[in-house]
Every structure is written in C-alpha cells, then in structure tokens.
Amino acid sequence: MKDHPTPTVTTGPLPASRKIHVAGERHDISVPMREIALTGGPPLTVYDSSGPYTDAAARIDISHGLPRWRGAWLRARGDVGETDPRPVAPADNGFAEGARLTPEFPTRHRPLRAAGGRAVTQLAYARAGIITPEMEFVAIRENEGRAAAHSRDGEPFGAAIPDLVTPEFVRQEIAAGRAIIPANVNHPELEPVIIGRNFKVKVNANIGNSAVTSSMEDEVEKMIWAIRWGADTVMDLSTGRNIHNIREWIIRNSPVPIGTVPMYQALEKVGGVAEDLTWEIFRDTLIEQAEQGVDYFTIHAGLRLHMIPMTAKRVTGIVSRGGSIIAKWCLHHHRESFLYEHFDEICDIARAYDVSFSLGDGLRPGSIADANDEAQFAELRTLGELTKIAWEKDCQVMIEGPGHVPMHKIKENVEEQLKHCHEAPFYTLGPLTTDIAPGYDHITSAIGAAMIGWFGTAMLCYVTPKEHLGLPDRDDVKTGVITYKLAAHAADLAKGHPGARARDDALSSARFEFRWQDQFNLGLDPDTAREMHDETLPAEAHKLAHFCSMCGPKFCSMKISHDIRAEAERQQGMESMAEKFRDGGDLYIPAPEAGE
C-alpha cells in the first residue's frame, strides 16, 4: 500500500440524521438504526443498512477495514477454529502483475471454519433451538425502534408478519427455511440482515468491475455508496483481473452481506474458456471465497442438460451469465454440470463456513416473449429439489427468480416458487415488465419488483438505468438503489407491514404542514429532493413557505385546505358539520347564515 494512498470514501450522516443503537436483551449486542430529527414532532427511527460510514463518531480507514465485532460471537460458540489459509495463486487475480495488480488488503486474517465437520450455520442453530446473537440482532433491527404496530392494513398473500419481531420468531422462520441470515464466519464485520417473506422486503445492489472498466477504489466506494442509500446486501460481480484482491477490500469494509457468483472467477482461471472448467477449479474457488468471507454464493446447479434445448426457440436464449457458461460446458461435454453432480460437496463447503446459497436461475427469461416458459419452470423445480438437499445439510437457501415478465405473469412466478421450493425465500431481478425502454429499465423493473415483492419475494435485486447498455457508475448505483428501496417499501405497505406506514404518514404530515426540511429529510433521497426544490425556489425563506413553484401561493391546495379547516372550525367544527350534512342527500338546504 506504500505507493497507494488510502482511497477516500463517502462518510458522514444523512441530513438531520444520527446513528442510534439499541441494545440486546439476550446477548451483548448493539443494533444500529438511523434517527431522523424533525422540526415538527418527535424523531422517526428507520432501518439503517449504511454501517459505520454514516456514524459521525466512527473513524473510517478502509485500509484497516471495519471493526471485527462479530468475532466475539463466533468465538463464544466454540465450534469454529482457525485454519491455514489456501495460498493465493496468481490465477486468483487473473495473473495481474506490477502496476496492474490491485494491492493486497494490508492485513491478513486467518480464516475460520467449522471444527470437526460441524454445521456452523444459522439454520443448524435454529433447528437446535438456539437463538444466536445474529437472530436477536435482526429481530431488533426489523422493529426499527417500534414498541407496537403502526396503522396497518394490506393483502399479505399468505405472508404472516407479526406486529413485532421476536428473536424466537426469527429462529422459527429460519428453522422452517422461510428466512436466512447470510453470515459467513469469516465476515466478522457484518451487521446481520434477515431475508424472508415475513420480514421487510430487502434490496440487493450489484457492483463489480468488468474486464472493460473500473477499479478497486471505484468498487469499494460503490459498495459504501450503495449501502448509504439503503442496499441491504451487495453482490460483487467482478470479472476480469484482480478479482481476489478487490473482493478482499470489499468484504473487509462491508457491514452488509456480500454475495458472489463463484463461476465468474472460476471462468477467469481457465482463460474464459467455459469448456475448460472443472469441478476441482470450481471447488477451489468456493474455498477461496468462503475463506475470504463471502456470505452467499449464487450457484446455477438447477440448469440441467435436458433443459438446454428448451431454450432453442426463445427470443433471447439464455441471459444469465452463469447459466450460459454452465450450459455451454454441459453441451460441450454432453453431461450434467459439475454443479449439479457435486451439489452435495458444495453443501459441505457452505456448511463449514455458513455460506448461504442463492440458487441461480440460469434459465430466467431475458425478454417478455420468454417469460414463464418451459425452461424457466423446469429449472425452478430442480431448484426445489436442490433446496431439500441443502436443507438436509443444514445450509441456508434462497432462490433466484426472473428477469423479464409482463405484469399478468408475475404472480404465477411467486406461486410456483413457493410451491416447488417449499417457501425458501425468493430473490428476484426486477422483473422488467416491458423490453421497450432501454435507459429506463430501473423503472420498467421497479414496477415488477414492487408487485413481486408484494406477492411474496423476500429480496429484490436492483436494476440500474444502465441495464443492457453498460457498466453502472456511481450515479446509476444510487438511482438503482433508491428506485428499489421505494419499490420494496411499496411492497411492504401493500403487504400490511406493521411499521411501513409510519414513514409515509410522517412525510405526508410534513408536506401538509409545509415543513419542507422535514419533507426532504424523511425522503429516501433528501439531497435530490432539496436540490429540486432549490431549482425554482432557492432562498432559505422558501423552505418555510406555504406553497411551492408548482402551483404558486394562490393555487396551493394544501394552503387552501388549511383555510378550509380554519373556516370550518370557525363556523362550528367540521365534526359536527359532518353529522349534520350526512343526511343532506341530494338537495342540500343552506343553513341560516347566523353570526356571519
């Protein structure tokens, strides 16, 4: 690192916000949340995935990484031990050398793994009746400081979200396979998060360099930037050189679960020639990444040889990168993939580090024309079979879903997934509801994401405006995250989540009372809201004005609404008027204008 100055990353609280911590009752844990101060009324506490970067008291140095505070929980369980790390090979970084080699992360930590073949997964603990610190952490976190349910109504489609989440409820959900806490024992920097249908809908942001562009500094900043705006997990989809070293920097600085598609790195190791992949190379890559602390692996083991011809008549063939790679391998070697054949062994690795599975949908549709076809649902049923195998090994599982799906075919996806995958959490990419808007696919997909989240998807993988067009930059990452946060929140509202409406109501009250600053600060993106308001009414005084440039003072309906209420109060109180007028029927007879 001598020649590399420590990169600076975005830090500091969001506007009017401070980090608060809620202590555990069972365990010595401290759950961070964000408190938004309001000019009118008590502060609002909201879920906070941003980690120490938004804590004014935190000292951030990404060359040190985040505090490894979860280490104490891991040691206390006494079921893991340090092992000699797998040596880093030149192939792990794509044979990058000299100035082209991303420097190693300065500190090497010895990896942990299960001692004596034990299952060290949250699923194993849950089944054994153990409430881990991770479980209590997420229980507190999901409640967002609430002591009771807020106003709730909704259509949950079979989801059963309690008014308040208890650690025991978390344990039961994990034991049933309906939720997961991706939490590799080698990721002690983690602030645990739960993914399941009976919890808040989560959002994943993809980052990662490609062979064509970007660097370690960019990717670490993208991760921090993505969680600042609310990403609950981050997938590092790097390809090209330096994959190993970039990933290490990301994980050591990430408070959120990191997911990967190990196939990408494996393919780099064989020079991009899919046919040259072997189980041994793949297996070695899994261990490499598990030792680094990757929290969940996308594994495309559900794509079987006999399904490939089902894609022959598709408009867009196979659009999953991992799926297309393994399909090519299968077809070339004319046999089932090593992912499918060695899935048992893959589970053994995952169980030793508690890497969760995200069973990949290699045959997801890449266009409206291909939605819900034979190939897609054939693979889904195999993912259900693999789920049972993973569960037998005490591994945590979620299931990936599409993709491109018109609105009328979205619900079937959730119903089929729940049925064939035994209620394992569903994790979908969008879906995009039309193909005709490149440049706006964050929106075509937010429509589908909100709906599929409502129907029961546990986590939504974001789509940025650059989808189909290029590698997203920092602005695209933010736009993608905010878009998906609002979609996830719309889903929570529609499901009747007991806490969701508190923020809507607080913001709408601020709007009605012309508390502009509160309106900005309660929004998902206070900076953009404030900038937009500033464009036409920049003066500070206008932040107290009882109108905006959209309608101007005379035409502000909210201002007039206040006048109406004042007038009604003056006349006799709206409540009693309501009683009086209720019998009014068609022909209202004006009351005598006494007293006017």
Q: Which residues are annotated as a binding site for Zn(2+)?
A: 404, 468
Cis upstream peptide for 584 (omega within 30°): no
Smallest distance from the beta carbon of 206 to a second copy, in angstroms?
Answer: 10
Output b/e per residue, 510-533; b: 16+ Cβ within 10 A: beebbbbbbbbbbbbbbeebbeeb
- The region of 121-129, 290-298, 389-397, 463-471 touching a second copy under the rule CB under 8 A is 463-471
**Given the complex with a second copy, which of 70 and 466 has the nearer CB atom?**
466
CA distance 372 to 441: 20
Nearest Cα residue to 192 out of 241, 136, 246: 136
Query: Of 107 and 151, which has the nearer Cβ to a second copy?
Result: 151
User: In the bound complex, what is the minimum distance in angstroms from residue 492's beta carbon to a second copy?
Assistant: 9
Q: Which of 383, 498, 507, 543 binds a second copy (CB under 8 A)?
A: 507
Position 342 contacts a second copy (CB under 8 A): no
Contact 12, 54 (CB under 8 A): yes
> Of 65 and 154, which CB lies nearer to a second copy in the complex structure?
154
Strand partners, 206: 235
Q: Where are the alpha helices (DSSP H) in 334-464?
A: 338-341, 343-353, 374-392, 410-420, 441-455
Interaction between residue 200 and a second copy (CB under 8 A): no
CA distance 407 to 558: 35
CB-neighbour burial class of residue 104 (10 A; exposed 0-12, middle 13-18, buried 19+): middle
Q: Which residues participate in the annotated binding site for substrate? A: 206, 235, 264, 300, 320-322, 361-364, 400, 427
Closer residue to a second copy (CB): 179 or 491: 491
Contact positions with a second copy (CB under 8 A) in 389-448: 404, 406-408, 433-440, 442-444, 446-447
Give the burial class of 415: count Cβ atoms within 10 A of its Cβ; 0-12 exposed, 13-18 middle, 19 or more buried: middle
Q: Does residue 487 bind a second copy (CB under 8 A)? A: yes
- Residue closer to a second copy (CB basis): 57 or 539: 539
Contact 442, 477 (CB under 8 A): no
Only one of the segments 52-60, 163-171, 262-270, 345-353 lies at the binding site for a second copy (rule: CB under 8 A); that segment is: 262-270
Alpha-carbon torsion 260, 262, 263, 267, what sign?
positive
Helices (H), 407-471: 410-420, 441-455
For residue 20, state whether it binds a second copy (rule: CB under 8 A). Answer: no
Q: Which is nearer to a second copy, 81 or 271 (CB)?
A: 271
Determine if 104 is a binding residue for a second copy (CB under 8 A).
Answer: no
Q: Interaction with a second copy in 150-179: which residues (CB under 8 A)?
A: 151, 153-155
- Report the residue number, 79 or 505, with the smaller CB distance to a second copy: 505
- Cβ 586 to a second copy shortest distance, Å: 8
Q: Nearer Cβ to a second copy, position 210 or 215? A: 210
Q: How many CA atoms lie within 13 A of 548 on its CB side?
A: 18
* Cα–Cα distance measured from residue 427 to residue 195, given in angstroms and rounded to the nearest whole number: 9
Binding positions for [4Fe-4S] cluster are: 548, 551, 556
Give yes or no for residue 203 binding a second copy (CB under 8 A). Answer: no
Q: Which residue has the tokens 């607080």?
A: 506
Binding track, positions 23-62, relative to a second copy; x by CB under 8 A: ----------------------------------------
Nearest to 426 by CA among 234, 135, 173, 196: 196
> How many residues at the interface with a second copy, by CB under 8 A?
141
Minimum distance between the CB of residue 267 and a second copy, rounded to whole angstroms? 7
Which letter, b or e, does each residue of 76-103 get, where b requires 16 or more Cβ atoms within 10 Å of its Cβ?
eeebbeeeeebeeeebbbbebeeeeebe
Residue reference for tokens 């506490």: 45
The least distance separating a second copy from the CB of residue 579, rounded to whole angstroms, comes to 8
Residue placing its CB nearer to a second copy in the complex, 108 or 546: 546
Query: Is 324 an interacting residue with respect to a second copy (CB under 8 A)?
Result: yes
CA angle 188/193/197 to nearest 5° reads 150
Return the number of the residue (79 or 435) whose C-beta is nearest a second copy: 435
**Contact criterion met (CB below 8 Å) for 296 and 123:** no
Contact between 588 and a second copy (CB under 8 A)? Answer: yes
| Closest distance of CB 401 from a second copy, Å | 17
Q: Which of 132, 242, 311, 428 binds a second copy (CB under 8 A)?
A: 311
- For position 373 contacting a second copy by CB under 8 A, the verdict is no
CB of 324 to a second copy, least distance (A): 4
CB of 8 to a second copy, least distance (A): 23
Binding mask 527-556 for a second copy (x = CB under 8 A): -xx--xx-xxx----------xxxxxxxxx
Cα separation, 502 vs 498, in Å, equals 9
Minimum distance, C-beta of residue 254 to a second copy, in the bound complex (Å): 22
Residue whose tokens read 């990967």? 260
CB of 107 to a second copy, least distance (A): 31
H or E element that contains 211 = none
Min separation Cβ 155 and a second copy, Å: 4
Q: Extract the annotated binding site.
A: 206, 235, 264, 300, 320-322, 361-364, 400, 404, 427, 468, 548, 551, 556
Query: How would you class 149 by CB atoms within 10 Å of its CB: exposed for 0-12, middle for 13-18, buried for 19 or more?
Result: middle
Q: Could you give the CA distance from residue 484 to residue 141 in angstroms, rounded to a whole number?
A: 20
Nearest approach, Cβ of 531 to a second copy (angstroms)?
A: 8
CB of 117 vs a second copy, minimal distance in Å: 28
114 binds a second copy (CB under 8 A): no
- How is residue 534 written in tokens? 């500033």
Among 259, 262, 302, 465, binds a second copy (CB under 8 A): 465
Report the site for a second copy in 221-250 (rule: CB under 8 A).
Answer: 239-240
The answer to whether the CB of 47 falls within 8 A of the CB of 32 is no
Q: Closer to a second copy by CB, 57 or 594: give it.
A: 594
Of the candidate residues 31, 123, 235, 274, the single one contacting a second copy (CB under 8 A): 274
As beta bridge partners, residue 235 has 206, 259
